[in-house]
Amino acid sequence: MSIAAANLVARNIHGRYFRSDATNDEGSRVAKITSLFIKAGALAFVLYLPMKYAINLQLLGGIWILQTLPAVAFGLYRCWFHERALLIGWFAGMIAGTAMFVSQEFAPVFSVACRRHDVRVLHGIARADRQSRFRDVLHLAP
């Protein structure tokens, strides 16, 4: 993943915005340096981050992936969506999902009061009710 990210940085950021006339050798050097920094950052996360935060970041990553999927799918397969609207919707989903996650003190379940029921929703997907045949859809607690 660090190599893929480094190639994206070298071609799409460095090559386009900083040095449009960069040679292949220079792009390769930028990609290698970027890859090294990404690997060093990943190593620092592994060595210095407590295990509790690693689990929370994995849950947060799942929320972000779930918010990215609709924008990418609609952008690829439906040409009549405006790209700015997709970007704003993606950004709003990222902010809302992250805010829900943080407001529940990094718990994977977000509780919403809906009339007389407490609806527990996973950040992006609803939670399963044990007695319901519609598993993984909704959990209603009195």
Q: Which of the pair, 97 or 31, is modelled with greater confidence?
A: 31
Domain parsing of the chain, residue ranges: 1-48, 50-107, 110-141
User: pLDDT (tens digit, 9 = 90+) per residue, 55-94?
Assistant: 777 888 888 888 888 888 888 877 777 778 888 888 888 8
Q: What is the pLDDT of residue 52?
A: 75
Q: Are 124 and 136 in contact (CB under 8 A)?
A: no
pLDDT for 125 equals 54
- The angle at the Cα of 111, spanning 105 to 117, to the nearest 5 degrees, equals 160
Spatial distance between the Cα atoms of 20 and 12, rounded to a whole number of angstroms: 10
Length of the chain: 142
pLDDT tens digits for range 9-54: 888 888 777 878 888 888 888 889 999 999 999 898 888 877 777 7
Q: Where are the alpha helices (DSSP H) in 2-134?
A: 2-8, 24-48, 51-77, 83-103
User: Binning pLDDT at 50, 70 and 90, where does residue 135 land?
Assistant: very low
Taking the CA atoms of residue 22, residue 25, residue 31 and residue 36 in that order, the dihedral angle to the nearest 10 degrees is: -140
Q: Is 111 left (phi over 0), alpha (psi -120 to 50) or beta?
A: beta
